[in-house]
Amino acid sequence: MSIYDTLNEQQKRGVFTTEGPVLLLAGAGSGKTRVLTHRIAYLIEELGVSPWNIMAITFTNKAAGEMKERVENLIGMGAESIWVTTFHSSCVRILRRYADRLGYDNSFTIYDTDDQKAVMKDVCKRLQIDTKTLKERAILSAISSAKDELISPQEYELKAMGDFRKQKIVQAYKEYQLALKKNNAMDFDDLIVKTVELFKADSEVLGSYQKRFKYIMVDEYQDTNTAQFELIRLLADANRNLCVVGDDDQSIYKFRGANIRNILDFEQVYPEAEVIRLEQNYRSTQNVLDAANAVIRNNKGRKSKTLWTDKGEGNRLHFRQFDNAYEEAEFIADDVARKKREAAADYGDCAVLYRTNAQARILEERFIIEGIPYDVVGGTNFYARREIKDLLAYLKTIDNGRDDLAVKRIINIPKRGIGAATIAKVQDYADMREISFYDALRQADEIMSIGKSAAKLKPFVTMIQSFRSKLEFYGLEDLIKDVIETTGYVAELEASDEEDAENRIENIDELISKIVAFEEVHDQPTLGEFLEEVALVADIDRVEDDSNRVLLMTLHSAKGLEFPHVYLAGMEDGIFPSYMTITSDDPDEIEEERRLAYVGMTRAKEDLTLCYAKMRMVRGETQMNAVSRFVREIPEELMDNRPPAPRFRPMDVPSSQFTPAEGQVYKYKPTATLMPKRTAAENKPFIAGGIGSLNAPGINKGVGAVTGGKPDYDAGDRVRHIKYGEGTVTDLEPGPRDYKVTVDFDDAGQKIMYAAFARLNKI
């Protein structure tokens, strides 16, 4: 039996149509990765194409790794020669060979978001831009959008004529690019832009890659921006054997620069293109698909397709209505716990999706109270955490002293008594001689203006040089441990009284684990390669496949994932779609939101629950919203509960006074009056479901005791925690909002937490 016999007819067409441009319209769950991997196998095994001549591009390291593994399983030997990678990794690989043709060193640094902010802050200061009226983040966003569209600073300047704000942005754009060039650095957008520049400026380089990549495949094509489109167009221009795979109904990254016209207009760019629709879904039940089809059909800017499955109708969608967001969270947590208890589902089978990150807080609190293990996807990125940024800055400085930002970040971490004035004088010296900040540090004795401060700089330089000298015989694990030990970084954390010190040390341990894992999969790992991989890691790549936890995530983060049981929280007009979208004059805005709803719905394999709360607090104000139009677009026969007809528009609900007596237990009821912020005299600590001193006790939590005193336990008392079990209170310290309690648990060891959040019971 051939490996191709397992494909359906449309999938076979996608595999066997190899010559010329091909557009694979792959609906959600239609097996597009299967088609791509079998297509690669067919090219190699049946048509005799060399693996060296095949390129497959996707967006995340996770997707690239999965595709590479599946190709290896299909063809075995030779798979390692196929270029299966992400857009950014591809460009890094090319620029590492040819960046010198654009005036960079080939060992350039890749700047992440924090690095960009630091550069822009300095640029705005030099240009005297008022960052109260024009924020650094807004400037960086405008620059990123320009780069997505391949608009250079010079072109941007022409478009900025007569617009004061844009003229300020273009000044910053020019200075920002000069600063990057001086630091031999590129940001993420530059990786694509500079590769396109290289191809357009150097026909020899372009020709060599066109000759190599005779067959090019691009996954998630609906998410490409203009720069990425141009990159692919240039590479495919000689052979035109370009196969793009995507689904316009899942184009949800306009805010990142994605251009849906790339997929909608593919046949205009390539008139001879073959269009193949993959509509058979292998993920969801027919009821879920019928509901998703009904919603997305309301969009006008799309290519027609209708998903179907042979898995049967399955359960009807569950629509659940609540009086407020806290009841919604309580229901979701209870329902997950019930499914686990009845063995209907495991924690890892469930996901809660929401429109905005802010919605996660209430859900997290409820899950903690219920003792349900969970992970929040798309929160603070591991590599963006302070302690990780610090240690990576050390590694960057050891690897490449030309990165001024990295050097400045850690020159006083731990504190070395090097003042801002000294740093500024060193920078002036570096600027005058057109050398890096680190090279200026090495010449500290020659900087007359810093005087005796030079003595403080020498130990830092000596330490970095020592680390560099050890690179020849050190592994990366040994290096990071030496950095931690020599700098005393962890020792300082251990000695500190910072609330998150333990978590930060655990994060450092995780970084060491990451380095060890990196060394295990690379024959001759280098520090530069490790830093490059870290720079290219995406949030979703951190999700562990075998982690038995409920995943909480935004709808954007959920794309590409699937779960047996999915809860869509906050299905209200004003939340999803957002109030800004509803009031926008741009019809494309609501269509993108509808595509987002389609993505969320099609994540569900077996069970889909839509949750609606009549009232929800947003930015401190309680709003009453109608049921989301996306719910109302679902045929009633597909749901087990009928949503109410819209009776009001999104609005703010006025609050009334409520001052509970000391010690009173208050349970929120649907008929209760909403509460305003209390005066300072009234604002006594309020313990309710894990949070102290909240503005609206009745609304913000289900049950709580309003008290004026401390918890009913003290140092020396035995207590029980829902997760950590039994332990002894060793310290109880009053804080500005709540008591900080230290407990030595019998099994879990010492934990420091806030009393209201801990929910400890005296035993």
Tell me how far CA of residue 466 lies from CA of 390, 459, 486, in angstroms.
18, 10, 11
Sheet bearing 703-706, strands edge to edge:
665-667, 703-706, 686-688
CA distance 353 to 335: 15
CA distance 148 to 30: 29
Tell me how far CA of residue 227 lies from CA of 20, 237, 324, 387, in angstroms.
22, 15, 44, 34
CA distance 111 to 227: 19
CA distance 193 to 180: 14
CA distance 711 to 742: 13
Report the candidate in 189, 542, 180 with the shortest Cα–Cα distance to residue 384: 542
CA distance 490 to 388: 12
Cross-strand partners of 614? none
- Mode of pairing for the β-strands spanning 374-376 and 550-554: parallel
Say what the alpha-carbon torsion angle 2, 3, 4, 5 is, to the nearest 10 degrees: 60
How many Cβ atoms from other residues are within 10 Å of residue 160's Cβ? Answer: 18
Judge whether 243 and 218 are in contact, CB under 8 Å: yes
DSSP letter string, 418-470: --HHHHHHHHHHHHHHT--HHHHHHTGGG-GGGGGGHHHHHHHHHHHHHHHHH
395 phi/psi in degrees, rounded to 5: -65, -40
The enclosing H or E element of 90 equals: helix 87-98
| Residues with catalytic roles | 32-33, 219-220, 250, 603
Helices (H) and strands (E) in the chain, counts: 31, 24
Say what the alpha-carbon torsion angle 354, 358, 361, 363 is, to the nearest 10 degrees: -20
Report the candidate in 553, 543, 630, 27 with the shortest Cα–Cα distance to residue 283: 27
